[in-house]
Amino acid sequence: MPSKLSDYEVICTIGVGSYGKCKKIKRRSDGKILAWKEINYGSMSETEKQMLVSEVNLLRGLRHEFIVRYYDRIVDRNTTTIYIIMEYCEGGDLGSLISRCKRERKYLEEEFAWKVLRQITLALHECQQRVKGSAVLHRDLKPANVFLDAAHEVKLGDFGLARVLHHDTSFAKTFVGTPYYMSPELMDHCSYNEKSDMWSLGCLIYELCSLSPPFTAINQQHLAVKIKEGKFRPLPSPYSAELQELISRMLKIDAVLRPSIEDILKHSRILELSAPKKDRRSSQPDE
Ligand code: ATP
Ligand code: MG
Ligand code: MG
Q: What is the pLDDT of residue 167?
A: 47
Q: Whose CA is nearest to atom 3 of ligand 1?
A: 18
Average pLDDT, the chain: 87
The pLDDT, as a whole number, for residue 134 is 54
Residues 185-199 have pLDDT tens digits of 888 876 777 898 899
Q: Which residues contact 89 (CB under 8 A, 6 or more apart)?
A: 35, 68, 147, 148, 149, 155, 157
Work out the number of other CB atoms within 10 angstroms of the CB of residue 73. Answer: 21
pLDDT digits (tens, 9 = 90+) for 99-134: 999 999 999 999 999 999 999 999 999 888 876 655
Cα 73 versus chain centre, distance? 21
- The band of 81, judged by pLDDT with boundaries at 50, 70 and 90, is very high
What would the DSSP string read from start to end of 69-102? PEEEEEEETTTTEEEEEEE--TT-BHHHHHHHHH
> Cα separation of 199 and 181, whole Å?
7
Q: How far is the CA of 15 from the centre of ligand 2 (A)?
A: 9
140 is catalytic: yes
Ligand 1 atom closest to Cα of residue 15: 15
Is 35 touching ligand 1 by the criterion CB < 6 Å?
yes
Q: Is the CB of 95 under 6 A from ligand 1?
A: no
Of 6-20, 145-159, 183-197, give the lowest mean pLDDT range: 183-197
SS3 161: helix
Q: Per mean pLDDT, which range of 47-51, 135-139, 150-154 is the poorest?
A: 135-139
Cβ–ligand 1 distance for 11 under 6 Å, the answer no
Task: Specify the higher pLDDT residue, 275 or 97.
Answer: 97
Residue 160 has pLDDT above 90, yes or no: no
The residue-averaged pLDDT of 64-81 equals 93
Whether residue 176 has pLDDT greater than 70: no
Q: Which pLDDT does position 168 carry in this prediction?
A: 41
Closest ligand, as measured to the CA of 17:
1
Mutate to test the pocket of ligand 1, among 12, 14, 24 (most ligand atoms within 8 A of CB): 14
The answer, yes or no, to whether residue 242 has pLDDT greater than 70, is: yes
> How does DSSP classify residue 234?
P
